[in-house]
Structures are given as structure tokens and as C-alpha cells.
Amino acid sequence: MFEPPSAVVRAVKDAFEVEVSPQQVEAYNPERRAGRNLSEGYREIFEKTREAFLTDTAAIGVSHKVVRLRTLARLIETAEKRGNAVLAANLLVQVAKEMGDAYTNRQRIDANVAVRSHEDALGDLE
């Protein structure tokens, strides 16, 4: 669920052009042995950051339908360029599921459906 120290090392290098070691990263995690002596101030920052991370899905791009669809579109283009028809077809199925809200709890109600009694329905059979 959380980034491993090696991923944090890469992110720090990419964002700040600073090289840190995985051990340096672990020293700021009070849940790791290396961070057991972390000051109270840094522990509070760690806990607040972790809580925000767990509750803020808006900051996660793939939690948004449009981002998922754009990513799938790029993957489909790549699969087609490489001649991978099976992957492209599977990705198109994924797009259809996304568009059809297959992964939501939404229920659609069609107000144009006529409600009939069972007597009316049985009368049609005669």
C-alpha cells in the first residue's frame, strides 16, 4: 500500500535532484527500526501525512474515471502499434466496463417503464 524506500529514493531524486539512501528514508519512518528514535515533531508529521494519504483519493489520478480512460486509450494505441490484438481487445473490454459503470454501486432507474399488475400480464396470455 505504501511506497517502499527504493521508490521514495527515486522520487526524491526525480523531484529534488538529491540522492538519498533507502536507510535515510527509513530513518523517517517511526514504524521501522531505523526510525525508532525519531523526534516527536517528525512522528506527528509522519502520522498526519499518513492519515492524509489514506483519506485523500482525489489526489490519486487513477481514482478518476477520465484518467483511467485516457490511460487505457494510450495502452490500446501502444498495443495496436505492437500488433498485440489480444491485449488491445482486452483493453477495449475494460473501456466498455468503465463506460458502463461496471465498477460502481450506481443503480439506474428507467422512469419510462410501465408497471403492470400480474392480472394484466396474465390477460395478455389469453
Of 52, 14, 49, 10, nearest to 31 by C-alpha is 49
Question: Within a 13 Å sphere around the CA of 5, how many CA atoms are in the beta-carbon half?
Answer: 15
Determine the pLDDT at residue 57.
Answer: 75
Give residue 65's pLDDT. 87
**Nearest-angstrom CA–CA distance, 81 and 66:** 23
10-residue averages of pLDDT along the chain (126 residues): 89 96 95 94 94 81 87 95 95 90 62 65 65
Residue 3 confidence (pLDDT): 87
pLDDT given for residue 22 in this prediction: 95
Locate the domains of the chain by residue range: 5-56, 63-99
**Other beta carbons less than 10 A from residue 43's beta carbon:** 15
